[in-house]
Every structure is written in structure tokens, then in C-alpha cells.
């Protein structure tokens, strides 16, 4: 809410529609970059990867089984993102998710060692080689964006990369 004045009109309307429970389904911006194709349904779970990982191994860590995991980060270099993703994988959660949605990675570049700026697609594809779930990257959530769309945790979401489908398929306030 601290950035509410910075988000665009469409994002504000989306937020209020969700809060008022106006629809049974909500289309999210489908400007997805497909990293791994496929389709999935599952409940949304996630947020900032650093904060999500801080709960791993504690009684507060959520159940990721059959969930669509979304994550974003700000100010981390690719090597740090690789480490955080490996930590999530080592927690045995990566093998249980239905899909992965990567948000805006704001200011996530290594300024000191520019040769270490590996693309996130390469990092994620290496990490998920043995898994068959879809992975997309979207620009509608994360830090420092005006088209920030609300991702209500715990609602059902559907992804179909073939049809460019990215939508909430449940009313979040019922």
C-alpha cells in the first residue's frame, strides 16, 4: 500500500475488484516470458524469495505441495539468486510445486563482476532440469513497477503457456 500512489489505473481497478470479490475469474496481464512451457493449476503461494526462504525449515514454512510458487527479488546479483533458488530446491519444495512464476527482478545485476551476470532463464533451467512444470516470468508484480497486480495467496491460479493464459480462477473473498 505504500506504493499505491505509484501504480497505474488498471492495477488499482484490479486490486479493488479483488477486494470486492466482483468476479469468479481474474485475468492477469499475459505478457509472460515462457521459460518452460506447459500448463498447471494450483493455489498461489510466494512473495519475495529472501523472505520466503527465511521460513524454510521452521514451523512457519508453508506447504508448497501442488502450489504455484511465485517469487521476486530486489537488489540481488544472479549468483545470490542462484543460491536462494538452490536453497529452495534443497528444502525439497521445488519438486512439489505445480508451476513457477518469476516476477520483476529489480536491480538484480552484479555491478562489480559484470561477467557473472548470468540470465535468470539459464539459472532456472539448470536448476529445474529434472522437473516438468511450467515456468514463466511476468512483469506485473515485484518492486518498482507501475503495473503491479495483486496476487492473492491461497487462491487457485491457472497457467497455460500454449494459450498465453494466466488467470485467477477463484473468487478470493468467498
- How many residues in total does the chain contain? 174
Q: Whole-angstrom Cα distance, residue 36 to residue 42?
A: 17
For the chain (length 174 residues), average pLDDT per consecutive 10? 85 93 91 96 96 95 97 93 97 97 90 80 96 96 90 96 95 87
What 3-state class would DSSP assign to 101?
A: strand
- According to the model, what pLDDT value does residue 71 have? 97
C-alpha 31 chain-centroid distance: 14
C-alpha 84 chain-centroid distance: 14
pTM: 0.94
Residue pointed to by grid coordinates 526462504: 53
Q: What is the pLDDT of residues 100-126, one digit of tens each?
A: 999 999 888 877 777 778 899 999 999
- According to the model, what pLDDT value does residue 92 have? 96
- According to the model, what pLDDT value does residue 167 have? 96
Which is it for the CA torsion 58, 62, 66, 69, positive or negative? negative
CB of 44 within 8 A of CB of 154?
Answer: yes
- According to the model, what pLDDT value does residue 131 have? 97
- According to the model, what pLDDT value does residue 116 have? 74
Amino acid at each position: 500500500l505504500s506504493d499505491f500512489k505509484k501504480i497505474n489505473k488498471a492495477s488499482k481497478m484490479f486490486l479493488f475488484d479483488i477486494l470486492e470479490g466482483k468476479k469468479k475469474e481474474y485475468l492477469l496481464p499475459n505478457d509472460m516470458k515462457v521459460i518452460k512451457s506447459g500448463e498447471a493449476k494450483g493455489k498461489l503461494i510466494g512473495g519475495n524469495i529472501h523472505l520466503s526462504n527465511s521460513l524454510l525449515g521452521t514451523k512457519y514454512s508453508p506447504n508448497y505441495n501442488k502450489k504455484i510458487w511465485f517469487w521476486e527479488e530486489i537488489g540481488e546479483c544472479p549468483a545470490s539468486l542462484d543460491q536462494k533458488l538452490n536453497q529452495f530446491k534443497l528444502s525439497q519444495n521445488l519438486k512439489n510445486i505445480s508451476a513457477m512464476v518469476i516476477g520483476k527482478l529489480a536491480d538484480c545485476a552484479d555491478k562489480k563482476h559484470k561477467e557473472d551476470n548470468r540470465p535468470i532463464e539459464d539459472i532456472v533451467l539448470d536448476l529445474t532440469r529434472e522437473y516438468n512444470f511450467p515456468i514463466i516470468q511476468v512483469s506485473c508484480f515485484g518492486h518498482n513497477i507501475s503495473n503491479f497486480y495483486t496476487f492473492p495467496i491461497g487462491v487457485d491460479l491457472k497457467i497455460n503457456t500454449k494459450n498465453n493464459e494466466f488467470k485467477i480462477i477463484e473468487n478470493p473473498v468467498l
